Amino acid sequence: MKSVEDLLKLKEEVQQSLALRDEGEKIRVVVGMGTCGIAAGAREVMSAVLDEVAKRRLTNVAVTQTGCIGLCAQEPLVDVLIPGKPRVTYGKVNAQKARQIVAQHVVNGIVIREWVVNK
């Protein structure tokens, strides 16, 4: 059970790590949360991304969701936006793939080509 004390501790940790780096633009991970995405497991994908990013204590990563992007057959969809690089969209992501996307792409900048959706 998480408590308000845990939240205060977390706040301190985040503040410290934000103070360590010069406030550059954040990496963004965006999960598509339309009906098709939700039905295909987008919420579990988001949960896995959150766990992986939190575990690695990456405070330069913002995790957000967005409504339907109109690629229903490819849901769940995950976008990775690294400042200065082109947006990469992954399709048919599950929790396990999501963790790998964080480990390889977000952390090391290596795109996992075989999961990228061709628009």
Partner 1 sequence: MEELALHLLDLMENSLAAGACRLELKIREDIAANLMAIELVDDGRGMEEGEIKAALDPFFTTRTSRRVGLGLSLFRATARQCGGDLTLSSRPGAGTRVAVIMELNHVDRPPLGDMGATIAAALARELPLELYYRHERDGKVFEFSSTRLKEILGDIPFNLAPVLTWVRDFVNGGLQKLYGGEDRL
Q: Give the footprint of ligand ATP on this chain (CB under 6 A).
A: 34-35, 68
Contact partner at residue 1 from ligand ATP, partner 1, none, CB < 5 to 8 Å by partner kind: partner 1
Q: Smallest distance from the beta carbon of 39 to ligand ATP, in angstroms? A: 9
Q: How far is CA 94 from the centre of its chain?
A: 12
CB nearer ligand ATP, residue 52 or residue 75: 75
Strand partners, 64: 30
**Of the candidate residues 16, 54, 85, 96, the single one contacting partner 1 (CB under 8 A):** 54
Considering only CA atoms, give the Rg of the chain.
Answer: 15
Q: By beta-carbon distance, which residue lies closest to ligand ATP?
A: 35
Write the DSSP symbol of residue 113: G
Three-class secondary structure assignment of 52-70: HHHHCCCCCEEEEEECCCC
